[in-house]
Chains A and B, each alone.
Chain A
Amino acid sequence: MNDKQQKASAYWKENIRYLGILLAIWFAVSYGAGILFKDTLNQFKIGGFELGFWFAQQGAIYVFVILIFVYVRLMNRLDKKYGYDE
């Protein structure tokens, strides 16, 4: 493997790691908090919301938006680190 290829595969590995972490959070807030553990979380309330219901209809969506912006920042930094920035 030459330098160029090595750089590319290191970049790809870091990218996959980021995706893994971000998608784990994605899964946790929607399928976890909003569906699988909804009934347990519903025992807690914030304001008038039962917590599980809040995740399913509000919280998960807020986290989704944040996730994409975090992804954009991480990737921009990664691009710079490997000189793929343009």
Chain B
Amino acid sequence: MTVQTWTYLLVGITFALYIGIAIWSRAGSTKDFYVAGGGVSPLANAMATAADWMSAASFISMAGIIAFAGYDGSVYLMGWTGGYVLLALLLAPYLRKFGKFTVPDFIGDRYYSNTARLVAVFCAFLVSFTYVAGQMRGVGLVFSRFLEVDINTGVVIGMIIVLFYAVLGGMKGITYTQVAQYCVLIFAFMVPAIFISIQMTGNPIPQLGMGSTLNDGSGTFLLDRLNSLSTDLGFAEYTSGSKSTIDVFAITLALMVGTAGLPHVIVRFFTVKRVKDARKSAGLALLLIAILYTTAPAVAVFARTNMINTVSDQEYSDMPEWFTKWERTKLISFTDKNGDGKIQYVADNAKNELVVDQDIMVLANPEIAKLPSWVIALVAAGGLAAALSTAAGLLLVISASVSHDLIKKIFVPNISEKGELWAARGAATVAVVIAGYFGINPPGFVAAVVALAFGLAAASFFPAIVLGIFYKKMNKEGAIAGMVVGILLMLFYMLKFKFGIFDGGKEAVTALKKDWWLGISPEGFGTVAMIVNFVVSIVVMKFTPPPPKEVQEIVEDIRIPSGAGEASGH
């Protein structure tokens, strides 16, 4: 069977499975819709959390980014897993004990203020929409390359599937679909990695294969070979990278606190029964995530080495089929600058003839390594599972923010349960359509906005939640001032250094690099904005009245794990 037949088959089967699960587990109440009825087992919750957490970015893009960035790519590996430790230790157990549906709910109640709630809703929107557009893009990418449909048709198909199970099933439907999606995506990621690891190093465990010697009888370590290949072509040594230490530090920290503040992952811990389960579930989820995250750097090394070996200084006319297929999607492009018919792939821009989009590395990897058709198709199905699971989780956050935080808590407090459920479904539908629109017409600044989303989450949510739990005396004036100053500072820095708005637009950005504060890039600036948020919150708090006694009692109560009860909206 051809790759395309296999892909249709595997994608068809997995989609049918997701829809089947959604019908079986559809939501009957708002509680089902928001927190899956609050009775999900720790293991199922962990699998769902892992699928939720690992987006198209983790599955499709991350290993590709690392393949091109080498050591510098470590910021994503440490950032996205280390943030999870913060989440598990500092947030999850307490938010579970608090027992409401959403993150703005916590901010609004803890800081006894609808202004704080509104600020939180705004942040949740911004973070979630940015993310969801990225997922839709991932869906489109997989469809266009493997099923050879138009990228827009791909996005629309993805929209319909997500719409179907998110709107019908709510959190309950999403949770059980995500369990299935985790299985699909981890299998799809591991199988080719294991195949290639055996092929290149003889070691079936990719994490070890990455540090083993090559299979070609030379006795050279794979990483040493890659280092010399890279430097021969003028690139930085793979294991050293080229970013400054302070920037690597700042970006890692911004990604850590940013991901710990992601609302769609936090909300997952409201779906288990007890605080104890929330803790355990967090541990299991990181274990499940770590399987992919420790394999990704190995995949990066394999892919990078294979790619250089396949293309560098080879005849263009001898290129394998995958090369021409990716050329058609314009994600690989070759210009024969010196007219010798060979591909010169070098660091020097004036001589380099090959441009490879980093997003294709994971998808192209099995083909580059000449693996069987079914493995290639499996990767396509895995990429879709990763994108759809995260998209669904984010849509739920958006719809809950609209129906619960805005409509029920602020505008129509006496709405009936049924009304709220329909409002949630309506909001989810609108959100899917908007996300789909951005997937089809991606604004040129998607990548920039994704970085902004992390920075914003770091600069706004994280300090407010942490102080809310660990600092009883923190009041609403302090928290609101901190969030507002943090967001504005972050926005200012991004607009100035990422978009060049104050200095004549995009063209000015490169020249502005030397003006970076402390040499920190916009991607890492969330760290600075977060620190400023903490400082402003504490200073303002010192000069304003302390929170009311009831609120201080709430804080004392969430610190004690027993008597969590079920999550409720009232």
Contacts and interface: CB of A to CB of B under 8 A. Distances in A.
B334 interface: no
Interface stretch (B18-26, B76-84, B424-432): B76-84
B78 A65 contact: no
Interface in A20-70: 22-23, 26, 30-31, 34-36, 38, 42, 46-50, 53-54, 56-58, 60-62, 64-65, 67-69
Contact of A35 (B222, B245, B274, B559): B245
Contact of A71 (B88, B213, B222, B293): B88
A86 interface: yes
Interface string B188-220: 000000000000000000011011110000000
Nearest to B77: A57
Interface residues of A, number: 43
B221 interface: yes
A8 B559 contact: yes
Nearest to B92: A68
A11 B290 CA distance: 31
B355 interface: no
Interface stretch (B277-285, B371-379, B508-516, B543-551): B277-285
Contacts of A71: 88-89, 279, 283
A60 B213 contact: no
Given A35-B249, A57-B297, A84-B560, A47 B212 contact: yes
B171 interface: no
A58 B300 CA distance: 13
Contacts of B210: 48-49, 58
Contacts of B208: 47
Interface residues of B, number: 49
Given A34-B78, A58-B297, A50 B290 contact: no
A18 to B, nearest CB: 9
B310 interface: no
B311 to A, nearest CB: 24
| CB-based closest 9 A-B pairs | A48-B221, A56-B74, A48-B211, A47-B211, A57-B297, A68-B283, A84-B562, A49-B211, A53-B239
Interface of B: 66, 71, 73-74, 77-78, 81-82, 84-85, 88-90, 93, 207-208, 210-213, 221-224, 239-240, 245, 248-249, 252-253, 274, 276, 279-280, 282-283, 286-287, 290, 293-294, 297, 556, 559-563
20 contacts: A15-B559, A26-B85, A30-B252, A35-B252, A46-B211, A47-B211, A48-B221, A49-B211, A56-B74, A57-B74, A62-B294, A64-B290, A65-B287, A67-B85, A68-B84, A68-B286, A72-B279, A83-B562, A84-B561, A86-B274
